[in-house]
Structure 1
Amino acid sequence: MIKGKYRYIMAAGALLAAGLAGASAQAQQTFKVGIVTFLSGPAAESFGVPAWNGGKVVIDALNRGEGPAPYNKVGFGGLKIEPVVIDENGGATKQVQELRNLYQRDNVDFVIGYVGSGDCLAVAPAAEELKRLLVLYDCGTPRIFEEAKYDYVFRTAAHGTMDNVALARYLKNSNVKVDNFSLINQDYAWGHDSKADFIGAMANMYPNAKVEADLLPKFGAGQYGTEVSALMRTNSSVVHSSLWGGDLQALILQGAPRGLFKKSVVALSAADHVIPPLGDKMPEGVIIGARGAYGLMAPKSAINDWFWKIYQDAYKTYPVQAPYRMVQSILGVKNAIEKAMEKNGGKKPTNEEIAAALRGSEWDSPGGRIRMVNGNGHQAIQDIAIGKTKWDAASKSMQLVDIQRFPAECVNPPPNMKSQDWLKAGMPGAKCN
């Protein structure tokens, strides 16, 4: 009798120990996440570093369980987020190897990253080959999902067609007379795609306007004296540019003293991020896009108030497009992971389970509602806002005024239609209020 009782106690003890061990293993589990963005080079100061700054404060808040509803569960589904941060500087070939290292050496669960369109085009096939989850938080080229289909690759922000269609619509809505226009864009995927999208959008809004100068300096050129001279000679009604980061700052600092921003209406598709560092050196009257409804043009909401506060408290400046896009990616993945865990009984989900939950999903971000509509549910669409720079003497800061907002369906191509085909067809199905 005693012997049997002893065996029962031992068995019960073993079950308890096993249960505690399982609970301990669950408590020790994390989501190890690769984060890739520019930490050095000309794109770091105004884009890559602010992006990670936004990611860091939000990850820290989520790990403490301090996100606003519905993001108030600790980390991702109760599991802490462990970031592994990698510099994007160095070119596409290097980034493919770094991506493989993140998966195979650092054993990350998935990767959130990439700003450069050339980098995105290079790493997406590598992630797919490895069957590992890759979430692109930025990079503007429409070609990612228009030229290929992926199971493991997602982009949680709209591509660059939206930016350029919105600029053209803003010009038209603002009654800007456009007889001709010139362009200056970087000589790589993002610049070429932005140029094509703006020309296509203008063909719909201003069918009689002619293209004058079409300039394609190299990424990181830094010196734009020749290009500014060429633009000044054209007498163009509008000058369009998708330059960003240090290149954009250089163009503004070199072009403004020579009168470029007074001679033509300048429309910049991705420029809000240079307003804080330039301050009063940013010209007034420049039409500015932020690649979404971000920063000074973000919609009023509880989640935006939360993000704005924790970012400004940490860095003593307000967030612009790059941190917004990083954060909407993190929140989109969090939403997908927690939906996957609801289905699998609370276990840490696999890549395939996360991908299934992210595909076609929707969530609220500081920049508004994000919807994975295009690219077979792998490509996001979102609303966008465009504004105009104006110096505010009271706050001694450059502000954005005359803001116009465009619904996602107004400025993004419909599902299963390529951007250029949509623009050439006259933007069928566009819904603008």
Structure 2
Amino acid sequence: MGRTEKKPVRLMLLVFAVILALAGCGKANEPAAGTTETGGEKAAEESASSGDAGGEIKVGVLHSLSGTMAISEVSVKDAELMAIDEINAKGGVLGKKLVPVVEDGASDWPTFAEKARKLLSEDKVATVFGGWTSSSRKAMLPVFEELKGLLWYPVQYEGLETSPYIFYTGATTNQQIVPAVSWLLENRGKKFYLLGSDYVFPRTANKIIKEQLKAEGGEMAGEEYTPLGHTDYSTIISKIKAAKPDVVFNTLNGDSNVAFFKQLKDAGITSKDLTTLSVSVAEEEIRGIGTDVLAGHLAAWNYFETTDTAANKTFLDNYKKKYGADRVTADPIEAGYTAVYLWAAAVEKAGSTDVEKVKEAAKELEWDAPEGKVKIDGATQHLYKTARIGEVQSDGQFKELWNSGEALKPDPYLKSYPWAASLSSGS
């Protein structure tokens, strides 16, 4: 009796289980819009959290559109938006349209951190392109590391930093400051006066320069710092005149450069009397300061508008066509533009906007940038870049006086320089 009575019951239970299993499939197991069949709900969640949903991918653009740094950062924002438009015109990324979410850091470091958090947490962007000053980058860094977002930072900086969530498309010190100091010592004199804005980049850069001067036979004539936005340089210029340096190495940023160079000229000091080399004065700043003031002064960068590459010719044509023939390009503008294309290439290679997959795909990625071929160093997430020194001409452009001849491997901790051993605090 036992076995023959249990068979119908077992059969009914089996049929009931099959019905439940079939009911559990249906729509729940169908691929969500914007995901693949292999991704399912997990892929949908990843897409939503990385700005990749439906037929669009949201990306953040975060620069100072107001305040003292707007003179420099607005044009970087313009170049990044142009790159996004160009990529969209070619079909987007992974067949999806890039949608920029633009925010204003307002030349205020806490605001940069706040806006970065908004872009990642609320707007759910796939990546962020932004920043200029090292203070803005330092303020954003813990936000990106906490939320595991991705920042592409486009400006030369003081080095001694790496982050798994930042790609540095501007120069580190061995690609700009260190070769510039060596060139100046060989060509312009041994006595240096250091002048900078009072924040992270100038103070750290000058710390490096002082060690290099000791090692390479230079000497210090003076060192001064002023707050960002400072406009009265009469006292400092008097000190410079009294010190009689061969070189003023200038790490001022923003509007302060306008005041300093105009007051230097008013004091009767021209480029024929004193060599001034800047690392934050490019073509865009020349427009704001004036060629009558800056002609003959020097700057160290990795790109000038006059850089002779096929990619630069196309970049210039497109930039001036979009924003006006009177607009100029500059190193950070080009580095911001390059950052967008590198991220897009890494996403295509990864087949995903997932941050960890993009980071892996970006290792050793090469691209023919307007400055020349660049490559992402997988170990540091910095670029291989060519160092250049240029002289401001009367037309507002730079005449290249020297370049490194090849793209230099990034060395953010200056490990290849014995004299820098005491400066490096990271790995």
Query: TM-score, normalized by length of structure 1?
Result: 0.79
- The question of whether the paired residues in 2 share the 8 Å contact of 1:181 and 1:212 is answered with yes
Is 1:365–2:369 an aligned residue pair?
yes
Is 1:50–2:45 an aligned residue pair?
no
- The question of whether the paired residues in 2 share the 8 Å contact of 1:142 and 1:159 is answered with yes
Is 1:215–2:224 an aligned residue pair?
yes
- CA distance 1:223–1:153, shift in 2 (3 Å): same
Is 1:225–2:229 an aligned residue pair?
no
- The question of whether the paired residues in 2 share the 8 Å contact of 1:120 and 1:139 is answered with no
- The question of whether the paired residues in 2 share the 8 Å contact of 1:185 and 1:194 is answered with no
C-alpha deviation, 1:230, in angstroms: 1.1
Give the total of aligned pairs. 376
Deviations 1:409-431 (A, max 9, x none): 65x664xx7227726169xxxxx
Q: Which residue is equivalent to 1:118? A: 135
- CA distance 1:21–1:89, shift in 2 (3 Å): closer
- The question of whether the paired residues in 2 share the 8 Å contact of 1:253 and 1:281 is answered with no
Q: Which residue is equivalent to 2:206? A: 195
Correspondent of 2:61 among 35, 38, 41: 35
Structure 1: gaps of 5 or more residues: 1-13, 66-73, 342-347, 392-396, 427-433
C-alpha deviation, 1:238, in angstroms: 1.0
Correspondent of 2:397 among 396, 399, 424: 399
C-alpha deviation, 1:204, in angstroms: 4.5
Deviations 1:150-205 (A, max 9, x none): 333222222244221232233245x32x2412110111111112212333343444
- The question of whether the paired residues in 2 share the 8 Å contact of 1:39 and 1:89 is answered with yes
Aligned-partner Cα distance in 2 for 1:280–1:349: 44
Q: Which residue is equivalent to 1:282? A: 293
Aligned-partner Cα distance in 2 for 1:34–1:96: 13
Aligned-partner Cα distance in 2 for 1:192–1:247: 16
Deviations 1:205-228 (A, max 9, x none): 4x1x32011001112212211111
For 1:4-403, list aligned pairs within 5 A.
28-45=54-71, 47-65=72-90, 74-138=91-155, 140-145=157-162, 150-172=163-185, 175-176=187-188, 178-205=189-216, 207=217, 209-261=218-270, 262-272=272-282, 273-289=284-300, 291-296=301-306, 298-301=307-310, 303-315=311-323, 316=325, 317-341=327-351, 348-373=352-377, 376-391=379-394, 397-403=395-401
Aligned-partner Cα distance in 2 for 1:264–1:340: 51
Structure 2: gaps of 5 or more residues: 1-25, 37-43, 45-51, 422-427
Query: TM-score, normalized by length of structure 2?
Result: 0.80
Aligned-partner Cα distance in 1 for 2:320–2:214: 41
Give the secondary-structure state (helix, strand or coil) at the position aligned to 2:139. helix
The runs of 4+ residues in structure 1 deviating greater than 6 Å are 18-27
Q: Kindly, what percent of the aligned residue pairs are identical?
A: 22
Aligned-partner Cα distance in 2 for 1:213–1:23: 60
Deviations 1:215-260 (A, max 9, x none): 0111221221111111111111111102232111221111112123
Q: Which residue is equivalent to 1:418? A: 413
Aligned-partner Cα distance in 2 for 1:299–1:57: 21
Give the secondary-structure state (helix, strand or coil) at the position aligned to 1:364. strand
Aligned-partner Cα distance in 2 for 1:190–1:22: 42
Give the secondary-structure state (helix, strand or coil) at the position aligned to 2:112. helix
Aligned-partner Cα distance in 1 for 2:420–2:173: 18
- CA distance 1:187–1:423, shift in 2 (3 Å): farther
- CA distance 1:269–1:27, shift in 2 (3 Å): closer
- The question of whether the paired residues in 2 share the 8 Å contact of 1:155 and 1:380 is answered with yes
C-alpha deviation, 1:85, in angstroms: 0.8
Deviates more, 1:397-406 or 1:322-331: 397-406
- The question of whether the paired residues in 1 share the 8 Å contact of 2:305 and 2:398 is answered with no
Give the secondary-structure state (helix, strand or coil) at the position aligned to 2:389. strand
